[in-house]
Amino acid sequence: MLGLESVDCYLRLMEPFNREILLLSKELRKLARDDPDVQLLESIPGVGYYIALLIKAEIGDIRRFKSRHHLSSYAGMVPSSKSSGKVERHGKITREGSRWLRWAMVEAAMVHIRYDTPVTRMYHRVAERRGRKKALVAAGRELLTVVYSVLKNQRPYYNPLRSGIELWSPWIC
């Protein structure tokens, strides 16, 4: 310990919590290993076992959604729209639906954009025009369509730009 009684008492309190967290992590890894859908989701760059389990828990059966657009709408990752007469305006995302799914997709997108994929290239195009934050949400929405495709077709992620996945570099584009 540190020798400071005021700090050591908190460290002693944290030890049982750390043990429980370790047990829970092992249990989650086992659940991830046993679920074929989670295995498919883990093939997407940026999606680890924790995010894959969260996505699977929030989506449930992928057959509930008629299309990738319905899934994006369920997650609240589609732009809001207001129209009056012939004028139609699009605004921020609706944020209706699962906030945990939105969070998971943006977190996965943060890692995914390190790789050279079509989603990454779309992120860079949007970031130039709209800024990084909006581009990250757009990349999360695009990743959600990848999730839909992977689960619907029951095939692992395939990067059409490369046969093997490499880290993204600004000189690759």
pLDDT in tens, 91-119: 888 888 899 999 999 999 999 999 999 99
Q: Give the count of domains, the chain.
A: 2
On whether both 29 and 43 belong to a single domain, the answer is no
pLDDT in tens, 116-146: 999 999 999 999 999 999 999 999 999 999 9
Find the domain containing 3 and state its range: 1-34
On whether both 131 and 51 belong to a single domain, the answer is yes
Residue 67, CA atoms < 13 Å, CB-side half-sphere: 3
Q: What mean pLDDT is predicted for residues 14-29?
A: 95
On whether both 19 and 102 belong to a single domain, the answer is no
Residue 64 lies in a domain: yes
Element (H, E) at 89: strand 87-93
Burial class of residue 90, CB neighbours in 10 A (0-12, 13-18, 19+): exposed
Q: Are 143 and 112 in contact (CB under 8 A)?
A: yes
